[in-house]
Amino acid sequence: MKISVITAVYNRRATIVDAMTSLQSQDYDNYEHIITDGGSTDGTLEEINKLSDHRTKMISGPDEGIYDALNKGIKRATGDIIGLMHSDDFFASDTVLSKISDAFNQSSIDGVYGDLQYVSATDPTNIIRHWKSGVFSQKKLARGWMPPHPTLYLRREVFDRLGLYDTSFKIAADYDAMLRWLGAGKIKLAYIPEVLVKMRVGGESNKSISKILQKSREDYRAIKSNNIGGYGTLAIKNLSKIKQFIGNNR
């Protein structure tokens, strides 16, 4: 079973090495790494070229944002399974892809996901938040539930049948897509109850108050357009993050 890992990157010289090394350290080697670079000028391309091997496929040029870049990568993917590795992220262990492959082989499912840890941008050993996602059910969607996006791996048929990321969303296209796939699409997911990915804090959606407000507006549009709920869903979604900061949730 071939796994395609998609990375969209722009000027992330300081972190792209960790992302690529983390993937190349996996004990599962039947994968391809598709990197879509937005035209980096800070040395990112040089770092990518140093680490690239026969499984690396890189394209560089202007895009219309991260979701456009991810869509380009997914369209180039040749794997049976497709997932993401953001340029600031890295796998929690060297057995993550093996566990993902095993989950697909052992059951008739459309996708798998696991838990996620947010770590300090300057000290990746410092855990800021622990997202313990839990087992999926349809009714959880109306309560603001979603799987951690960087841990979600799907069969390519899901993208073929239910579509890619809607680039009219600038921050919340991942939430919109997951509601579409899990809600109307009713895909079947398996949960791996352990941390699969570590993400450095400082994402685009939390950079400023204006970004936070924009994300809330886009989240609400995604909720309504996918017929999942309303303002209550949005409120619970945001409030549910509080427990991720509590130490005993780890």
Higher pLDDT, residue 213 or 158 = 158
Q: How far apart are CA 180 and CA 44, in angstroms?
A: 33
Q: How far apart are CA 44 and CA 107, in angstroms?
A: 39
The arithmetic mean of pLDDT across residues 166-180, rounded, is 96
Higher pLDDT, residue 107 or 88 = 88
Residue 211, token pair as written in the block: 């970004």
Q: Output the pLDDT for position 196.
A: 98
Task: Give Cα 225 distance to the centre of its chain.
Answer: 21
- Mean pLDDT over the full length of the chain: 93
The arithmetic mean of pLDDT across residues 3-31, rounded, is 97
Stated as kind and residue range, the H or E segment containing 115 is strand 111-119
Q: Is the pLDDT of residue 175 over 70?
A: yes
The arithmetic mean of pLDDT across residues 13-21, rounded, is 96
Q: Output the pLDDT for position 95.
A: 98
Residue 50 burial (10 A CB sphere; 0-12, 13-18, 19+): exposed
Task: Give Cα 205 distance to the centre of its chain.
Answer: 14
| CATH number of 238's domain | 3.90.550.10
Q: How far apart are CA 240 and CA 53, in angstroms?
A: 41
Q: Domain count of the chain?
A: 1
Q: Output the pLDDT for position 191.
A: 97
Higher pLDDT, residue 44 or 229 = 44
pLDDT band at 248 (very low <50, low <70, confident <90, very high): very low
DSSP H stretches of helix in the chain: 13-24, 44-51, 66-76, 96-106, 138-141, 156-162, 173-179, 209-225, 231-239
Higher pLDDT, residue 172 or 203 = 172
Q: Output the pLDDT for position 211.
A: 84
The arithmetic mean of pLDDT across residues 74-89, rounded, is 97
Q: Output the pLDDT for position 207.
A: 57
Give me the residues paired with residue 199 across strands.
89, 118
Domain span at residue 111 reads 3-249
pLDDT band at 231 (very low <50, low <70, confident <90, very high): confident
Residue 15 C-beta-side C-alpha neighbours within 13 Å? 24
Q: Is the pLDDT of residue 114 over 90?
A: yes
Q: Output the pLDDT for position 102.
A: 97
Q: Output the pLDDT for position 206.
A: 53
